[in-house]
């Protein structure tokens, strides 16, 4: 160990004594854990109605009413009032120990999360539906089994704290299903869950309520912080992301009563809005090549209502 090494070790141990106190750590962790749990359990159409009811009031939205003095540019993307809401097409039978599904969507892949509410006999289950065979990169042992009349692959991935069991099969042309859980369940139980899947329409609950949406676009990602629209998988997107608040590099626009920064770069145009009362920054990005005028971008952003179930990145 040379002088620099010694000085580094000394510096780190000295700095450690200046770490924040742990007085409130336990209560804060419990609060945060409860919040994670509540977010996972938010579900179903009843929740949609409830969240809309408890979502921020009109005065708390980015503006109370979208401005109407910015007419759309001819030939550009039109903003309309509705968009097709994605739904997850399967569910598991109601079981003691597993919650009702919470659906989400990433890059076009729909997922339903069934949270374990009893952890001795049960574990979380995630079912994902994709249009092509899902990629698997982690090292695993594989076994071929029969599921719902199809050949399926059951992969066991050795990770801590529990081995992951992942069952994948092609349900029909253009539809692959992946069921993932851990070794709380036996392989036979995992196959039984797959056999028990039945058709359903589990709504993917968005983090925002939108007054306007881009015509001809569909959602390909809906998470607790993000809604992303595209016309096709490879097309440039229109993305709305809620992030933990950060300092804007100045401001050149107002969206409702909020300061905002509109900037254009190689990746497209981005409107960053300092949503102070949510302690968050809302980013609305328009990919390169998409014809959405700045005025329409601001009009679109002004119609975004952040809901209580959102969770900033």
142-158 in b/e burial notation, b at 16+ Cβ within 10 A? eeebebeeeebbbbbee
H or E element: which one contains 41? helix 25-41
Of 9-28, binders to other proteins (CB under 8 A) are: 9-22, 25-26, 28
Residue 69 in the binding site for other proteins (CB under 8 A): no
**Quick one: which of 64, 119, 159, 215 contacts other proteins (CB under 8 A)?**
119
Residue 33 in the binding site for other proteins (CB under 8 A): yes
Of 210-249, binders to other proteins (CB under 8 A) are: 244, 246-247
Q: What three-state secondary structure class fits 66?
A: coil
3-state percent helix, strand, coil for the chain, nearest multiple of 5: 20, 35, 40
> Residue 78 or 136: which CB sits closer to other proteins?
136
| Nearest alpha-carbon partner for 90 in 23, 171, 5 | 171
Total residues contacting other proteins (rule CB under 8 A)?
Answer: 37
| Nearest alpha-carbon partner for 156 in 174, 137, 143 | 143
From residue 18, give the alpha-carbon distance in Å to each of 5, 11, 12, 138.
Answer: 21, 11, 10, 40
Q: How far is the CB of 44 from other proteins (least distance, A)?
A: 21
| Nearest alpha-carbon partner for 231 in 210, 215, 211 | 215
Calculate the CA dihedral of residues 56, 61, 66, 72 and round it to 10 degrees. Answer: -110
> Residue 130 or 281: which CB sits closer to other proteins?
281
Q: How far is the CB of 182 from other proteins (least distance, A)?
A: 8
Binding mask 260-279 for other proteins (x = CB under 8 A): --------------------
What's the rounded Cα separation, in Å, for the pair 167 and 283? Answer: 37
Residue 32 in the binding site for other proteins (CB under 8 A): yes
Q: What three-state secondary structure class fits 193?
A: helix
**Quick one: which of 36, 45, 58, 64 contacts other proteins (CB under 8 A)?**
36
Of 153-172, binders to other proteins (CB under 8 A) are: 160-162
Q: How far is the CB of 115 from other proteins (least distance, A)?
A: 9
> Residue 45 or 119: which CB sits closer to other proteins?
119
Binding site for other proteins (CB under 8 A): 4-5, 7-22, 25-26, 28-30, 32-33, 35-37, 119-120, 160-162, 244, 246-247, 313
């Amino acid at each position: 160990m040379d002088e620099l090494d010694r000085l580094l070790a000394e510096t780190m141990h000295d700095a450690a004594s200046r770490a924040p106190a742990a007085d409130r750590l336990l209560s804060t962790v419990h609060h945060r854990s409860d919040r994670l749990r509540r977010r996972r359990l938010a579900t179903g159409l009843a929740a949609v109605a409830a969240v809309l009811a408890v979502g921020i009031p009109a005065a708390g939205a980015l503006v109370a009413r979208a401005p109407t003095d910015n007419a759309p540019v001819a030939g550009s993307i039109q903003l309309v009032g509705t968009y097709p809401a994605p739904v997850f097409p399967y569910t598991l039978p109601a079981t003691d120990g597993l919650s009702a599904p919470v659906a989400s969507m990433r890059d076009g892949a729909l997922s339903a999360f069934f949270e374990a509410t009893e952890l001795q006999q049960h574990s979380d289950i995630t079912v994902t539906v994709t249009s092509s065979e899902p990629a698997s990169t982690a090292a695993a042992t594989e076994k071929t089994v029969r599921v719902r009349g199809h050949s399926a692959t059951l992969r066991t991935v050795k990770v801590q704290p529990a081995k992951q069991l992942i069952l994948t099969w092609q349900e029909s042309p253009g539809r692959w299903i992946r069921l993932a859980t851990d070794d709380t369940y036996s392989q036979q139980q995992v196959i039984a869950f797959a056999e028990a899947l039945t058709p359903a329409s589990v709504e993917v609950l968005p983090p925002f309520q939108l007054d306007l949406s881009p015509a001809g676009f569909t959602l390909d990602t809906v998470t607790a912080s993000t809604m992303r629209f595209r016309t096709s998988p490879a097309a440039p997107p229109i993305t709305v992301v809620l992030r933990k608040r950060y300092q804007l590099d100045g401001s050149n626009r107002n969206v409702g009563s909020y300061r905002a920064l509109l900037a254009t770069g190689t990746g497209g145009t981005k409107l960053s809005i300092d949503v102070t009362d949510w302690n968050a920054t809302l980013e609305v990005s328009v990919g390169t090549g998409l014809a959405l005028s700045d005025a329409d971008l601001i009009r679109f952003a002004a119609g975004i209502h952040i809901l209580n179930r959102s969770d900033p990145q």
